[in-house]
Structure 1
Amino acid sequence: MERIAKVPPGGSLYTKYVDAFKRQYPGKPSMTVKENHGGTHIHPYLNRVISAREMARLQTFPDSFIFEGSMKKAMWQIGNAVPPSLAECIGYALIPYLSDIALNTKNKVNPSHPEQAGLVFD
């Protein structure tokens, strides 16, 4: 805890592995959650690492989602996952294209103008 207390926001516990055990910035969006060989983020305010459940929340997993296996395996699953909210947005964006394919119709969106796809993130 004494060593973790000295880590500034955005800083790492280690000089060699600067992407592991980084302290989150208070009041800002989370840094990327990823599988990091057990090196997780440090809580922005408390002198501790974030839990697997906190990592899952950052990745937009519902609290009811159950991860199988050990804590290390859960963190690996969470860090390697596509965030569910991102997957949902991508899925909804693909519906018109998949519908066109299923109905054997021509795609009405010009691929040289991706802004026509109209992705909305809320």
Structure 2
Amino acid sequence: MVRHYTQLEIINLSKLPPTTVKRWLEYFSYFVPGSRQGDQVLYPYETLKLLKRISELRMERYHLSTIVRLLIEEGFPMYNKGEPEAPASEKMDIRTTEQPEPDRQQQLVASLSSLANELIRIADHLNHWKLQ
């Protein structure tokens, strides 16, 4: 059985500020497979890897929306927001799915929209420097 950690344990193990961990767990919730046990949400060890990668990208000064795109590109798995983690036997690999589920479609649209906005921002930034 895979060990799961409370939010406090994740904060202590990650060595990141508590407010940062809480904010990232919320903002990047599609990448965080939390499961409920009573009043607590428990997180798998992979959550620490995710937080470490987000921390690295923030240290490189990436914007949060860009980090979402990079996590997708790097193959971090996405989960339905607000739903507990499914057992491994019930998880589906997105590459083998013909038609995305409506929630998955919304996630993809949101990700693509964020990517488009980021590309527009970068293009505007490049045009600004080109004109100077």
Normalising by structure 1, report the TM-score. Answer: 0.29
The answer to which structure has the higher helix fraction is 2
Which protein is bigger by CA-based radius of gyration?
A: 1
The answer to which structure has the higher strand fraction is 2
Normalising by structure 2, report the TM-score. Answer: 0.28
